[in-house]
Amino acid sequence: MHVPVLADKVIEYLGPKSNQHFIDCTVGSGGHAFKILESTAPKGRVLGIDQDKEALLRVRAKAKEQKVGGRLTLVEGNFAEVQELARKENFRPVHGILFDLGMSTDQLEQGGRGFSFQKAEPLDMRYDTVNPITAEKILNFFSKRDLERILKEYGEEQFAKEIAEGIVQARAKKQITHTKQLVEIVEKAIPAWYRTRKIHPATKTFQALRMAVNRELENLKEALPQSVELLEKEGTLVVISFHSLEDRIVKNFFKQSSQLRILTKKPAVPAQKEIKENPRSRSAKLRAARKIG
């Protein structure tokens, strides 16, 4: 079952009040959205955005069960277009905006799209299945130089050169279509001593491909300034990131924006109790800022 990360902190910083309106830019399995709806009853609304059509279907079913469907508007789209999506839905005023940049448990466990190196699945990795770029296409048709860049830039992979070389050699013999093939390529490319580390050797490669396929860093850079424009004065922007590159983008944007007052001098992180109950939360960092003018 999906457990929303840092849910108490999200509510603490967003501070939802009765009848206020919020945007959840990554509605996922709806965990945060439903908590916001609880706090904004009886007439508060949430606009939930997600690229994953299957995720939206699951949230719509939950909303019907919990009888909050009338207060939850779900939109299939990319949060890089949050301003346009809010305009189309005539969603105003906006008192707070949330980004939870991590994948949901449902996507990892039920997606069947190759997000996890622990499962035998096709190498798709798209949130939005209309996207023409898949992990398989990147692996089989991108140049060795571009593969190395992706692994370095999005995965901070120290053996990017060796893994890129391994991919090029492997695809010359047989097209790379499956997660297990990719795991074998990575394990063969890296030094033996690195395979004994706590983190799985393919972790960074899978992360890098997923971020490249979905343009995650680029979309975040586009969405943050739009979010500030959408917010009412005293509205709050909350971002949960799971990667140092994402966190750096958010941190720098908050610092450089003259319209924001930072609420988190240091990012909020999960307590040990939450990490124990939900191990995937261990790398989460939450930053929050308030619009001042």
pLDDT of residue 73: 97
Model confidence at 270: pLDDT above 80: yes
Please indicate if the annotation marks 100 as binding a ligand. yes
Q: Does the annotation flag 178 for ligand binding?
A: no
Per-residue pLDDT, 196: 78
- Span 141-160, average pLDDT: 97
Q: Is 124 annotated as ligand-binding? A: no
What pLDDT score does 128 carry? 87
pLDDT of residue 105: 64
Return the residue matching tokens 């571009």. 146
The whole-model pTM stands at 0.92
Question: Binding site annotation covers 79?
Answer: yes
Phi, psi of 75 (to 5 degrees): -130, 130
**Is 30 marked within a binding site?**
yes
Is residue 109 predicted with pLDDT exceeding 90?
Answer: no
pLDDT in tens, 30-67: 999 999 999 999 999 999 999 989 889 999 999 999 88
Domains and CATH numbers, the chain: 7-107+216-291 (3.40.50.150), 132-213 (1.10.150.170)
What pLDDT is recorded for position 241? 97
Query: H-type helices in the chain, by residue range?
Result: 7-14, 31-39, 53-65, 82-88, 105-110, 135-141, 144-155, 160-173, 179-189, 203-213, 216-230, 244-256, 272-277
- Computed over every residue of the chain, the mean pLDDT equals 94
Residue 86: count other Cβ atoms within 10 Å of its Cβ: 23
The continuous run of DSSP H or E covering 25 comes out as none
31 is in an annotated binding site: yes
- pLDDT surpasses 80 at 148: yes
DSSP labels, 161-202: HHHHHHHHHHHHHS---BHHHHHHHHHHHS-GGGGGSSS-TT
